[in-house]
Chains A and B, each alone.
Chain A
Amino acid sequence: MMKLRAILIMTVYGILVTLASLWMAKQSYSWFPPEASAEAKLLDDLFSLFTGLGTFIYLGVIGPFLYSLIFHRASKYDMSDGPPIEGNIWLEIVWTATPLILVLTLAFVSYRTYEKMAVRGPMELVHLHMPQMMQSAYAEPFDSKPQQEIQNALITAPIEQVDVIAKQWAWVFHYPKQDITSTELHLPVNRRVRFTLHSEDVLHGFYIPAFRLKQDVVPNHEINFELTPVKTGTYRLRDSMFSGTYFAANQADVVVQPLDEYQQWLADAASQSPTPAFNRAVFEYSKANDREGATKDKVAVRGWDTIPPASPPVVNYAP
């Protein structure tokens, strides 16, 4: 009778946990910025899987944990000990093997997602001639849509090339074909884009949350980085690797637009002569060093010396 009740409780709890995990897995999509790239969709699917399994494990452990805390408490004058159970070999084998299988599965699924993203990244930095994992980048998918988008983008047009220059503290985007520069990143929708990342001084992080992608920018190394924007709109590019005083202000806008608008923008930009763009770091730095200015007391606590920001970038287009 007791055993039957235990089985019943466990079954009900198991069903509840499964439902909760499914709900959380669905819910996880809403925790992100918009899915503006094909890679973002791949990542969100993977994250949803992790969230579901994570919730399942969390509730699966915390349930018995709380049950025990509620029902297995000693009464005030009960000075006796619990049953002297020191272990159970089968139970221990099960809870060693289960996580092992689980994490190996998760690692495999992650690897597949990573392959499908085919973000390139820095293969040149360390010359150890290992097998090129990217060869099988277009392996059989289990959710083919985002990957299809990447492939379509690759088939329909050549890869769009953009050079990214990061410095303390500005982003400059150079379009080599038209030889124009901008402090705002414009990208055509549904085209594969290849960035070549340069840094002029320290490490920076090229990070567009809406694309779910990030790559550190290393001085003296050109790093190639690819992605496929699939949704028009304006997003934010943030420096993700701490780069000194004005690190937090080192941001830029990313505009993903239809092909015709994009080309129009390129043409407009090409017609403008380069001018110095507004730069937040330079602005704040000059204000902070303006000894006579009334802006001195803008912050409650004054700071220490800093590396001066690079002079404002001279670009064809600035927002």
Chain B
Amino acid sequence: MTNISIEAPETVRGQPYPGAPDNWRRFFTFSTDHKVIGIQYIVTSFFFFLIGGTFSMIMRGELITPDADLVDRTVYNALFTMHGSVMLFLWTFPVLVGLGNYLVPLMIGARDMAFPRLNAVSFWMIPVVGVLMLSSFLVPGGPSQSGWWAYPPVSLQNPTGNLINGQVLWILAVAVSGVSSIMGGVNFVTTIFRMRAPGMTWFRTPAFVWSVLAAQLIQLYGLPALTGGAVMLLLDITIGTSFFAPERGGNPVLYQHFFWFYSHPAVYVMVLPAFGIFSEVLPVHARKPLFGYRVIAASSILITVVSGSVWVHHMFASATPSWMRILFMVTSMLVAIPSGIKVFGWVATIWGGKIRFTTPMLFALGGISNWLFAGITGIFLASVPIDIHVNNTYFVVGHFHYVLYGAIVMGIYAAIYHWFPKMTGRMYYEGLGKLHFALTYLGTALTFLPMHPAGLMGLPRRVASYDLEFAYWNVIASIGGFLLGLSTLPFILNMVSSWIRGEKVGNNPWRAYGLEWLTSSPPTVENFEELPIVVSGPYGYGRSRPLVGNIPNPGLTEFPESLTQQKS
């Protein structure tokens, strides 16, 4: 055997670096460390989550009475547009990119992302997007009021006649966010394909990494279509081309194809990492291997493939010919199969395990139960006749908030709690965490469940006023909405206080099985003292087999009994 040296990191490490892991100032610099960038992403996007949440609570305040009496209709329309845009482009996308950024290199045993500088540039575009998006409140005419879809011709109508108006700023913000996401996509895909640690074959790669790969592949093939549509929309608004302007002979429905070709798969960009989080959290807190790991991993890629051919189900009511309706009904329903595989796999994972109700576990379980419900209403929506009735009603709003809040935000919370000890070296407060979970779960059900019956009764989405018959469900939803707003308080308190003075825990407080738990907490700048050499697949619970060959792995290779004695 010859001497093979694995990539000498000393040269990189020797460079002056903006702060060691214990220096908080590094979070305010143009750091190229994926862990710093990951936390930058998470914190920044959480700030925007609070802003988007504030918008939604003003909306719920308006909707607590049938008349449009709290804010003017234009303000309401701007609020739901900004709520959707901020929540998607400034919260859900970036926070998941942040989690991926933090975890993927650690999980695959790499020292950083493939392109660290590009990574930092991607992140610093997010504040730019935020400024562009929110500055539209200050221009004459206010922010875009055409919904986050920005469907023409409404989005082409420009009451002020100014060139710099809310809609133009919105398109620019989305374009910058798109550039950031494409760069992120290139970075993730390259990292996952080429930088996995020695010995980490595809089927030794954690399910979370698979799901991030699947999601980022969607970004790469889907986002450019939205960019194309956005460019044409921008030209229509600014220089008077006629692509989507019906009065000039354009075709507004074509925009919807451009938009949904990306924006439906975009849902999977967001939900796939959440699936990955569930797949990581459950085995740790149920002490059992992920059931059907290979199938769960591969089903992520299957979702990537299928999601490219389902977009027309958003357009069943919009001038879509019958053959297209039927074709896309079948393809959309097929998404239930990879999703089903995952849910069944998770249930089988916890079955017969040693379950502990830690906060991340609670969030993961809550997220799965919500996803199950949302998945079933999703099949309803795929059916053409049902969709013709409920399309553009609150049924849809309820459905996708169950996906976005019920499953994805719950997944994000699960991830933050689960990896909090890794990111900070400290433990969060369990009591506050459980309170947070209870408020979030209850709030989700109260807010989004009543939207389903309201939609079935025929309440259109995006209305600022409604008929009296819908008041009952709306009042409940509003109360739930305020509860959700309240639910963030114990979380913020928990995170801040635990980061400052939480109990110091070791490198692996969960006794979890995974490369990220082998290094120190928080990990050093280059993640690993020496690159791990992976000798077995993930989730080896109950087998006491080593995960890597060259780093001692206490708590996993030893018998668990010894650990019990150490603890007590």
**A–B proximity contact (CB within 8 A):** yes
Binding site for B on A (CB under 8 A): 31-33, 42-43, 46-47, 50, 54, 57-58, 61-62, 64-65, 68-69, 72-74, 77-88, 91-92, 95-96, 99-100, 102-104, 106-107, 110-111, 113-114, 117, 119, 121-123, 125-126, 128, 130-131, 133-134, 201-203, 205, 207, 209-210, 212-216, 218-221, 223, 236, 238-249, 251, 284, 288, 298-307
State whether the Cβ of B291 lies closer than 8 Å to any Cβ in chain A. Answer: yes
Show the binding face of B for A, using Cβ within 8 Å: 68-75, 77-78, 140-142, 145-147, 151, 153-154, 157, 159-160, 246-247, 249, 252-253, 286-295, 317-326, 329-330, 333-334, 336-337, 340-341, 343-345, 347-348, 350-357, 365, 368-369, 372-373, 376-377, 379-380, 382-386, 388-389, 391-393, 453, 456-458, 460-467, 511, 539-543, 560-561, 563-564, 567-568
> What residue in chain B is nearest A242 (Cβ atoms)?
B462
| CB contact under 8 A between A32 and B383, given known A245-B74, A249-B465 | no
Given A65-B350, A133-B323, A248-B463, is A50 in contact with B73 using a C-beta cutoff of 8 Å?
no
Kindly list chain B residues whose C-beta atoms are within 8 Å of the C-beta of A301: 70-72, 75
Q: Which of A54, A91, A103, A113 contacts B334 (CB 8 A)?
A: A103
**Whose C-beta in chain B lies nearest to the C-beta of A123?**
B321
Pairs A-B, 9 closest by C-beta atoms = A209-B458, A303-B72, A303-B74, A304-B142, A84-B542, A248-B463, A74-B354, A81-B542, A82-B288
A residues less than 8 Å from B369 (CB atoms)? 62, 65
Question: Quick check: A42 and B385 within 8 Å, CB to CB?
Answer: yes
**Chain A residues closer than 8 Å to B157, beta-carbon distance:** 202, 244, 307
Task: Please tell me if the beta carbons of B253 and A240 are within 8 angstroms of each other in the complex.
Answer: no
Q: Is the CB of A50 within 8 A of B356?
A: no
Report whether B253 and A125 are in contact in the complex, using a CB–CB cutoff of 8 Å.
yes
Contacts of A306 in B (CB 8 A): 73-74, 159
Chain B residue nearest to A280 (CB atoms) is B465
CB contacts (< 8 Å) of A121 on chain B: these are 319-322, 325
- Bound-complex Cα distance A246 to B379 (A): 32
Question: Which residue, of B71, B336, B379, B383, has the highest number of chain A Cβ atoms within 10 A?
Answer: B383
Q: Is the CB of B391 within 8 A of A32?
A: no
| B292 with A92: CB separation less than 8 A | yes
Pair B291/A86 contact, Cβ less than 8 Å: yes
| Cβ-closest chain A residue relative to B376 | A54
A50 touches B386 (CB 8 A): yes
Taken together as a complex, chains A and B put the C-alpha atoms of A61 and B160 apart, in Å, by: 54
Q: Report if A122-B72 is in contact (Cβ < 8 Å); known contacts: A69-B350, A87-B291, A213-B389.
A: no
Whether A65 lies near B340 (C-beta < 8 A) is no
The CA-CA distance from A251 to B460 in the complex, in Å, is 11
Of B71, B388, B543, chain A has the most CB atoms within 10 Å of the CB of: B388
Counting residue pairs across A and B whose Cβ atoms lie within 8 Å, the total is 338
- A70 CB → nearest B CB, Å: 9
A110 touches B389 (CB 8 A): no
Chain A residues with CB under 8 Å of B343's CB are 61
B350 CB contact (under 8 Å) in A72, A242, A243, A299: A72
Do B352 and A87 touch (CB < 8 A)? no
Contact A241 B329 (CB under 8 A): no
Q: Given A64-B351, A219-B247 in contact, is the A125-B321 Cβ separation under 8 Å? A: yes
Nearest Cβ in chain B — how far from A110, in angstroms? Answer: 4
Q: A79-B561, A107-B383 are in contact. Are A64 and B347 (CB under 8 A)?
A: yes
Contact present for A106 and B379 (CB under 8 Å): yes
What residues of chain B lie closer than 8 Å to A99, measured between beta carbons?
Answer: 336-337, 340
Q: Evaluate whether A58 and B462 lie within 8 angstroms (CB atoms) in the complex, with A81-B541, A99-B336 already known.
A: no
Contact call B386/A32, Cβ cutoff below 8 A? no
The residues of A that contact B287 with a CB separation of less than 8 Å are 74, 80-82
B262: shortest Cβ distance to chain A, in Å?
20
Please list 7 pairs of residues, one from A and one from B, whose beta carbons are closer than 8 Å in the complex, sorted by A's number. A43-B386, A91-B344, A103-B337, A114-B326, A284-B73, A301-B72, A302-B75
Which of B69, B70, B160, B347 has the most chain A CB atoms inside 10 A of its CB? B347
Q: Counting chain B CB atoms within 10 Å of each CB, which of A86, A87, A106 scores highest?
A: A86
Known: A46-B386, A84-B289, A86-B289. A303 touches B352 (CB 8 A): no
Q: How far does the Cβ of A30 sit from chain B's closest Cβ, in whole Å?
A: 10
Could you tell me the distance between the alpha carbons of A104 and B336 in the complex, rounded to whole angstroms? 11
Extra inter-chain contacts (16) besides given A236-B467, A247-B463, A301-B70, CB under 8 Å: A54-B377, A72-B350, A72-B355, A79-B563, A80-B560, A82-B353, A82-B541, A83-B542, A102-B336, A103-B336, A216-B317, A240-B392, A242-B146, A244-B154, A300-B69, A302-B72
Other-chain residue from B73, B340, B461, B543 in contact with A246 (beta carbon distance below 8 A): B73
In the complex, the chain B residue whose C-beta lies closest to that of A130 is: B323
**Complex interface: chain A residues within 8 A of B389 (CB):** 43, 47, 209, 212-214
Q: Do residues A31 and B160 form an inter-chain contact, with CB atoms below 8 A?
A: no
- The answer for the CA separation of A203 and B69 in the assembled complex, in Å, is 26
A64 neighbours in B (Cβ, 8 Å): 347, 351
B294: chain A residues at CB < 8 Å are: 87
A256 to chain B, nearest CB (A): 16
CB pair B70–A300 under 8 Å, yes or no, is yes
Q: Known contacts A50-B380, A242-B154, A248-B464; is A68 also within 8 Å of B352 by CB? A: yes
Chain A nearest Cβ from B62, distance in angstroms: 9
CA distance A91 to B151 in the complex (A): 45
From B160, B322, B347, B542, residue with most partner A Cβ within 10 Å: B322
Q: Which residue of A lies closest to B461 (CB)?
A: A242
Which chain B positions have C-beta within 8 A of A114? Answer: 322, 325-326, 384-385
Give complex CA distance A47, B377 in Å. 11
